[in-house]
């Protein structure tokens, strides 16, 4: 059916939100329970209505009255009640909330879903959607159609210019507080597109995926053996005649098995009608005409129930999941051929400084160094699953830096710069960002990497990393990695680490968190690079991770437990 209005009910902590979409308008109402929601709906102008609810439609039969019908089953009624999943449009609802301060997530979800379904109805596409959706959640297979009905929200909003501003009077920031503030300041900025499941490795789901059908789809055998009806057997020796033929995976036995008879069955074969139990082949003897085994056999032994892994309509993967090889296996097994994913986050990388030579192919004078940061940061971005955008190198020329930042804002979603992030005479990146009024120079209680410049440039977030490669890597791993993950549409990620005994001695004063280049020796203890100097780039390659020393005073002796953060835990 096509409808005159769409009503969507979503649950909030303090009740329900009801959004009613009619041609040209959407209204939202806070309700205490289904009865109040139906009363409000009945007071609005009537017409053929689709009511989407985020729980079982059958629970709404009584408050909706005798004219209501439920989907799946019915596809047309004066009031058709269907189960919906508001998370199908989670990114769009988030964007709506950002654009309309004060809107709760539940209200935004209800409004967006109501507008999308009404738009499809006005296009005449709703009957096809009702007929084609295979899962018991309306639109679960057609999130792209829903999303296309909301073109204005396909791209999330850009960050506010003041999103990185520190409260007045805050100067020296501990690492944990800096991470918390950074997390609160950011939102997903990558748009949404569809992708074939087979090509979706490393991509980030933009919507939850529900099973199109159960896995396994039918009861089947877990072993090679003989299948029969349990009711026909008992204790002691059993002899059952065998039917002609067998059941195998992909080759079902198309006839009922009479009670008191058995059938040869192989692993993965659908249980024929009349079979509910399988005895393991190793526990039997057969002459081809009958099978002998000792009873009793437990009911439903060696069988798999339909949907015992995942039932039809169950949530398979949540939005924000970065798809791994096992995830692709699950999606394919559930019949999901396409998924909605976030567009790969475009990460621009720009290095600055007159002392930098952009490529080892070019000669370097004694006062110059080859660019180490740009290839390192580009590879980090690529290894984390993003689309690296090489913005090149620029000297200490404010006009050229401005031009490159303009390019970055157009070509990338986020910009990483190295060098020029402090407040010195030649730190032109921070000076330029400051002149635009968006710069927040975070002095973080961190070694190495104390200065971290954060700003926006034409709406694109800019991370001004230190020019020193050791400090640049530490800041990229500790700050940029979780920030990029969140902006890409995934969750905020924490480094994975574990405690190991130290193989070094060190005394540390309170006030700053320290990260030491380290690796594990043959006995599993952490040894650190011989020099803590941040100019020793070779220590980055020598190391296999970092030792994290907390903010307080610490005295480390050989054998003292220390926290080791392997490079692999940072995704590198």
Assign domain 5-153 one CATH number from 3.40.50, 2.60.40, 3.30.420, 2.60.120. Answer: 3.30.420
pLDDT tens digits along 428-476: 777 788 777 567 767 788 898 767 788 888 888 999 898 889 999 999 9
| Res. 140: pLDDT tops 80 | no
Distances (CA, A) of 273 to 197, 249, 280, 301: 34, 15, 19, 16
The SS3 of residue 89 is helix
| Res. 133: pLDDT tops 90 | no
Report yes or no: 92 and 157 within 8 Å, Cβ to Cβ.
Answer: no
Sorted by where each begins, the domain ranges of the chain are 5-153, 192-214+310-342, 220-304, 346-487, 498-570
- pLDDT computed for residue 1 by the predictor: 64
What percentage of residues in the chain have a pLDDT greater than 90?
A: 50
Distances (CA, A) of 340 to 197, 216, 430: 9, 24, 38
pLDDT tens digits along 357-371: 888 888 888 888 899
Among the ranges given (35-44, 93-102, 178-187, 272-281), the one the predictor scored with the smallest mean pLDDT = 93-102
User: Which position has the higher pLDDT, 517 or 13?
Assistant: 517
| Res. 413: pLDDT tops 70 | yes
pLDDT tens digits along 522-535: 999 999 998 877 77
- pLDDT computed for residue 164 by the predictor: 61
- pLDDT computed for residue 154 by the predictor: 46
CATH topology of domain 192-214+310-342: Molybdopterin biosynthesis moea protein, domain 2 (3.90.105)
Identify the H or E element spanning 566: strand 561-566
Report yes or no: 81 and 64 within 8 Å, Cβ to Cβ.
Answer: yes
Residue 382 CA to residue 27 CA, distance in Å, equals 44
- pLDDT computed for residue 163 by the predictor: 59
pLDDT tens digits along 93-113: 877 776 677 888 889 889 989
Average pLDDT, integer, range 71-76: 78
Report yes or no: 543 and 520 within 8 Å, Cβ to Cβ.
Answer: no
| Res. 549: pLDDT tops 70 | yes
CATH topology of domain 220-304: Molybdopterin biosynthesis moeA protein; domain 3 (2.170.190)
Write the CATH number of the domain with boundaries 346-487.
3.40.980.10
Assign domain 498-570 one CATH number from 1.10.1060.10, 2.40.50.140, 2.40.340.10, 1.20.120.80. Answer: 2.40.340.10
Six-digit token string for 144: 């792209």
- pLDDT computed for residue 3 by the predictor: 83
What's the pLDDT band for 425 if we cut at 50, 70, 90? very low
| Res. 169: pLDDT tops 60 | no
Neighbours of 276 (CB within 10 A): 16
User: Which position has the higher pLDDT, 329 or 82?
Assistant: 329
47: left (phi over 0), alpha (psi -120 to 50) or beta: left
Average pLDDT, integer, range 230-253: 95
Distance of CA 570 to the CA centre of its chain: 17
Tell me whether domains 5-153 and 192-214+310-342 share a fold: no
pTM comes to 0.75
Number of H helices, E strands in the chain: 14, 35
430: left (phi over 0), alpha (psi -120 to 50) or beta: alpha
Average pLDDT, integer, range 147-168: 60
Q: Which of 35-49, 159-173, 251-265 has the highest mean pLDDT?
A: 251-265
């Amino acid at each position: 059916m096509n409808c005159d209005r769409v009503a969507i009910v979503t649950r909030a902590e303090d009740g329900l939100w009801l959004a009613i979409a009619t041609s040209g308008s959407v209204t939202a109402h806070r309700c205490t329970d289904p009865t109040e929601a139906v009363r409000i709906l009945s007071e609005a102008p009537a017409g053929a209505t689709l009511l989407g609810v985020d729980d079982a439609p059958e629970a709404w039969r009584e408050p909706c009255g005798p004219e209501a019908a439920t989907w799946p089953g019915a596809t047309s009624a004066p009031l058709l009640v269907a189960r919906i999943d508001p998370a199908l449009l989670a990114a769009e609802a988030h964007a709506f909330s950002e654009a309309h301060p004060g809107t709760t997530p539940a209200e935004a979800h209800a409004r967006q879903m109501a507008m999308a379904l009404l738009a499809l109805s006005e296009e005449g596409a709703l009957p096809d959607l009702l007929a084609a959706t295979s899962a018991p959640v309306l639109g679960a297979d057609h999130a792209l159609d829903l999303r296309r009905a909301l073109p204005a929200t396909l791209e999330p909003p850009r960050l506010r210019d003041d999103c990185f501003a520190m409260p007045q009077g805050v100067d020296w920031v501990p690492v944990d507080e800096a991470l918390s503030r950074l997390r609160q300041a950011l939102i997903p900025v990558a748009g949404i597109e569809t992708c074939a499941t087979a090509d979706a490795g490393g991509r980030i789901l933009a919507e939850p995926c529900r099973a199109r059908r159960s896995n396994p789809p039918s009861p089947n055998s877990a072993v090679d053996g003989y299948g029969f009806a349990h009711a026909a057997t008992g204790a002691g020796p059993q002899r059952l005649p065998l039917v002609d033929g067998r059941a195998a995976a992909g080759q079902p036995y198309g006839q009922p098995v009479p009670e008191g008879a058995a059938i040869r069955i192989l692993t993965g074969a659908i249980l024929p009608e009349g079979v509910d139990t399988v005895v393991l082949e190793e526990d039997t003897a057969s002459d081809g005409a009958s099978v002998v085994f000792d009873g009793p056999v437990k009911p439903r032994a060696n069988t798999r129930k339909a949907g015992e892994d995942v039932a039809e309509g169950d949530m398979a993967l949540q939005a924000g999941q970065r798809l791994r090889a096992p995830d692709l296996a699950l999606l394919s097994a559930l019949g999901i051929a396409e998924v909605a994913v976030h567009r790969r986050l475009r990460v621009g990388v720009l290095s600055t400084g007159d002392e930098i030579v952009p490529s080892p192919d070019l000669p370097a004078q004694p006062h110059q160094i080859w660019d180490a940061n740009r290839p390192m940061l580009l590879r980090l971005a690529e290894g984390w699953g993003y689309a690296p955008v090489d913005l090149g190198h620029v000297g200490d020329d404010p006009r050229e830096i401005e031009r490159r930042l303009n390019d970055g804002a157009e070509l990338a979603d986020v910009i990483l710069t190295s060098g020029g992030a402090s407040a010195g005479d030649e730190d032109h990146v921070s000076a330029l960002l400051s002149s635009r009024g968006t710069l927040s120079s975070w002095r973080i209680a961190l070694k190495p990497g104390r200065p971290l410049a954060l700003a926006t440039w034409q709406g694109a977030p800019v991370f001004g990393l230190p020019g020193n490669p050791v400090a640049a890597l530490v800041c990229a791993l500790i700050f940029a990695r979780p920030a990029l993950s969140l902006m890409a549409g995934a969750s905020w990620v924490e480094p994975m680490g574990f405690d190991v005994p130290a193989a070094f001695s060190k005394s540390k004063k309170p006030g700053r968190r320290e990260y030491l280049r380290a690796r594990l020796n043959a006995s599993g203890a952490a040894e650190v690079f011989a020099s803590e100097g941040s100019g020793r780039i070779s220590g980055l390659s020598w190391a296999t991770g970092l030792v994290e020393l907390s903010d307080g005073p610490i005295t480390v002796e050989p054998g003292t437990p220390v926290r080791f953060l392997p490079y692999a835990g940072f995704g590198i």
